[in-house]
Structure 1
Amino acid sequence: MTTAKDIMHPGAQWLPAHETLDRAAQMMREMNVGALPIADSNERLMGILTDRDIVVGCVAMGHDPAQTTAGEMAHGTPRWIDSSADIEEVLREMQSHQIRRLPVIEKKRLIGMISEADLARHLSEPQLATWVEKVYAHG
C-alpha cells in the first residue's frame, strides 16, 4: 500500500503565525517552495500560506508585507493527512476540498507536504486526470 509518507516531499517547515509575510516570502525563496503551513504557538496547523496569498491578499490590497503576519492570512479549517493514510485517502481529501497542497502529520508533527508535483510523480495517468478534473472543477 502506498501511503502519504511514501509520496510526500519531506522536510516541510512550519511558518509561525507571528512571522511577517516578507519573512515568509524569504523562507519560500530559500526553500524553493510556493507554500508554507502556518502554525500557532503550540505547533498546531492554522492554515497554509501561499506565494499567491502574499501577492493577492496583501500586496495587491495595499498592505505592507513587513507589517502583516501569517496568522492574519490563515482562514478556514486547515486540512491535513496522517502519514499512514493510503493514496486513495490522500486523493479524497484533496479532491473533496479542492486543495493542491496537503500537510502530512505524524505523531502530531509536520513531516512533509504533498503537492501537485508529488502526485504527478506517483499517480497513474488516469488517477492524475481524475484528480485534476475534481480539484480544478469550478462550480
Structure 2
Amino acid sequence: MTTAADIMHPGAQWIPAGETLDRAAQLMARLNVGALPVSDENERLCGIITDRDIVVSCVAKGHDPSVVTCGDLCQGTPRWIDAGADVSDVLDEMESHQIKRLPVIQDKKLVGMISEADLAQNLSEEQIAGFVEKVYARR
C-alpha cells in the first residue's frame, strides 16, 4: 500500500497565524515553496496561505503585507491527511475539496505536504487524469 508519507514532500514548516504576510513571503522564498500551512498558538493547523493569496487578497487590494497576518487570510476548514493514509484517501480528500496542496500530519505534528507535483511524480496517468478532471472542474 502506498501511503501519504510515501508521496509527500517532507520537511514542511508551519507559519504562525499571527505572522505577517511579508514574513510568509520571505519564508516561501527561502524554502522555495508556494504555500505554507498556518498554525495556531498550539501548533494546530488553522489554514494554508499561498503566494497567490498574498498577491490577490492583500497586495492587489492595496493592503500592507507587513501589517496583514496569515491568520487574516485563512478561511474555511483546513484539510489535512494522516501520514499513514492510503494514496486513494489522499486523492479523495484533494478531489472532493478541489485542493491542490494537502498537509500531512503524524501524531498531531506536521511532517510534510503533498502537492500536484508530488502526485505527478508518484501516481499513474489514470490517477492523475482523474485528479485533474475533478479538481479543475468548475462547480
TM-score tier, shorter chain, comes to over 0.9
* Structure 2 Cα separation of the partners of residues 123 and 7 of structure 1: 9
- For structure 1, the 5+ residue unaligned runs are none
- For structure 2, the 5+ residue unaligned runs are none
Partner of 1:123 in structure 2? 123
* Structure 2 Cα separation of the partners of residues 105 and 111 of structure 1: 6
* Structure 1 Cα separation of the partners of residues 102 and 58 of structure 2: 23
Tell me the CA shift for residue 59 of structure 1.
0.3
Q: One-letter code of the match for 1:128?
A: I
Q: CA RMSD in A?
A: 0.4
Tell me the CA shift for residue 95 of structure 1.
0.2
Q: One-letter code of the match for 2:67?
A: Q
> Do structure 1's residue 78 and structure 2's residue 62 form an aligned pair?
no
Q: State the Cα deviation string for residues 2-42 of structure 1 (Å, max 9, x = none).
A: 00000000000001011100000000000000000000000
TM-score (norm 1): 0.99
* Structure 1 Cα separation of the partners of residues 127 and 71 of structure 2: 34
Partner of 1:134 in structure 2? 134
- State percent identity of aligned pairs: 70
Partner of 2:15 in structure 1? 15
TM-score (norm 2): 0.99
* Structure 1 Cα separation of the partners of residues 128 and 82 of structure 2: 21
Q: One-letter code of the match for 1:70?
A: C
Which segments of structure 1 move beyond 6 Å, counting only runs of 4 or more? Answer: none
